[in-house]
Structure 1
Amino acid sequence: MFKNAKPIQKDKLHDQVYDRLCMLLREGEFTPGQAVPVAHVAEAFGVSAMPVREALTRLLAIGVVANVSGRSVGVPALGYPELTDLRNVRLEVETLAARWAVANRDAAFIGDLEALLEQLETTERSGEVRGYIKANYEFHLRLYQQSRSPVLIDIINTLWLRVSPHLYQLEREDQYKVSNEQHRKIVEAIRKGDAEQASASLRQDISDAYDVLVRVLFSTEA
């Protein structure tokens, strides 16, 4: 557990613990339903339990994690209404960020996306699930950063904290390969300066992932 964890520096300890936990959540290190003892997190980070509890309290407040017991937390399962609500908000907020990113595009931005797309395709072909989830987050984050709107990025990061732990489910229906087709279309549209096509491809990417999660999570429910 927490193979990528590094000891936390003592200055600004609480914020660093929170940021590290957010990173691990977005990179798929927490599996929904898995209990994660606070002591294990503290040991992995090389800190006491107190800053870990404070960071987890912040995550509890926005619904990213839930108490499993007095000493453990976990990522809660998403219900259908919550998953649908997340999809609807993402469609509005993330496509807006994509349109603004196209308006602010430059050669460095396009080069960064092309490099991240290569990582996505490499991890998809090799079946590296966690590697793909990490590269997927980095691709989308780089896209949204080009919007140059810190407010939008903060909103999007909170949305991704909620949805990222569930993206490993998409491997079941070969969705990573399908998603990469949309990623390629996004990059091609940005090269051409076509904000509407970039937004449409991103919308399709989000909607496709939602459809797969609905089938995987709820198809067996009565």
Structure 2
Amino acid sequence: MPAKPPVTKRRRPQHDDGAPERPRRRGELQDRVVDELRRGLMIGAFVPGQTISLRRLADDLGTSSMPVREAINQLVAANALEMLPNRTVCVPHMTPARFEELSRVRQALEGMAAEMACQRATHELVKRLERINGELQRAIRERNIVQCLAKNQEFHFTLYEAANSEVLLPLIEPLWLMAGPIMYFSLISPDMPWDASAHNDVLDALKARDPAAARRAIERDIRSTATYLLKSSVFRSTSGPLAGLRAGADPRR
């Protein structure tokens, strides 16, 4: 069964007087669909090798198949999705060598972004990251896998956006599109510790105005997860365990 991205079907929005709003323009609708699919890939709502159903995605997103098809074509062009000779669309398979290289590049770029963000950190940024990390820790306690993945991505990108770099973020996002689909497996094994200790270290570094410590914390976060996954058997078993999973569900129940 193809995966469903972490979205809910939308009713047509209405004004306060009950009248329906004007339909979204085609460009606006396609942008929303692309954003939803990109987010789904980055947080691990799809896994390597999983086929993508255009019709199912259109139903989940509450739209027609046209904007979904156009969004998928964009993601195929970005190497985030793969179109097979029979026109089936799937999430690209991940090899250990490719994942290891992605992780090394992520450490370099995301470590730099964390360092730059620390140099510009404000009290408001720290409070926002603390709130997100608190929500992540609550999701960990509740074993809410989808929420864990979503809050982890939100923490990282809130931090990186604070770097205010026109160069780094456009480089980091495609790495998450490629690496995100494997990240689900970092949360379903009892051997992988579920904690946010590296995030706590990031927060401590921001409060101390220590850019080098912020870089080290992010590098450790990426490296520790990659090390575990490379030692595990996930690259032989990525068959789509998140298929059909709605936000808040735990597939192990």
| TM-score normalised per structure 2 | 0.79
Q: 1:138 to 1:218 in 2, by over 3 A?
A: closer
Mapped pair 1:133 → 2:149: yes
Aligned to 1:16: 32
| Most deviating of 165-174 and 127-136 | 165-174
Deviations 1:135-189 (A, max 9, x none): 0000001110110113311211111111112111112123332xx1111111111
Residue correspondences, number? 219
Mapped pair 1:214 → 2:230: yes
Q: 8 Å contact 1:30–1:74 — kept in the other structure?
A: no
Distance in 2, Cα, partners of 1:194 & 1:151: 22
Deviations 1:184-209 (A, max 9, x none): 11111110001111111111111111
| TM-score normalised per structure 1 | 0.90
Unaligned runs of 5+ in 2: 13-22, 238-253
| Most deviating of 187-196 and 55-64 | 55-64
Aligned to 1:176: 194
Unaligned runs of 5+ in 1: none
| Displacement of 1:220 | 7.2
| Displacement of 1:80 | 1.9
Higher gyration radius (CA) = 2
Distance in 2, Cα, partners of 1:5 & 1:79: 32
Distance in 1, Cα, partners of 2:236 & 2:67: 40
| Most deviating of 5-14 and 107-116 | 5-14
| Displacement of 1:33 | 2.5
Aligned to 1:143: 159
| Most deviating of 107-116 and 44-53 | 44-53
Asked which structure has the greater RCO (Cα within 8 Å, sep 6+), the reply is 2
| Displacement of 1:49 | 1.9
Aligned to 1:67: 83
Question: Which of residues 4, 7, 21 is equivalent to 1:4?
Answer: 7
Q: 8 Å contact 2:140–2:194 — kept in the other structure?
A: yes
| Displacement of 1:131 | 0.6
Aligned to 2:203: 187
Aligned to 1:167: 183
Identical aligned residues as a percent: 27
Structure number with the higher helix fraction is 1
| Displacement of 1:218 | 6.5
SS of equivalent residue, structure 1 residue 24: helix
| Most deviating of 98-107 and 143-152 | 143-152
| Most deviating of 44-53 and 7-16 | 7-16
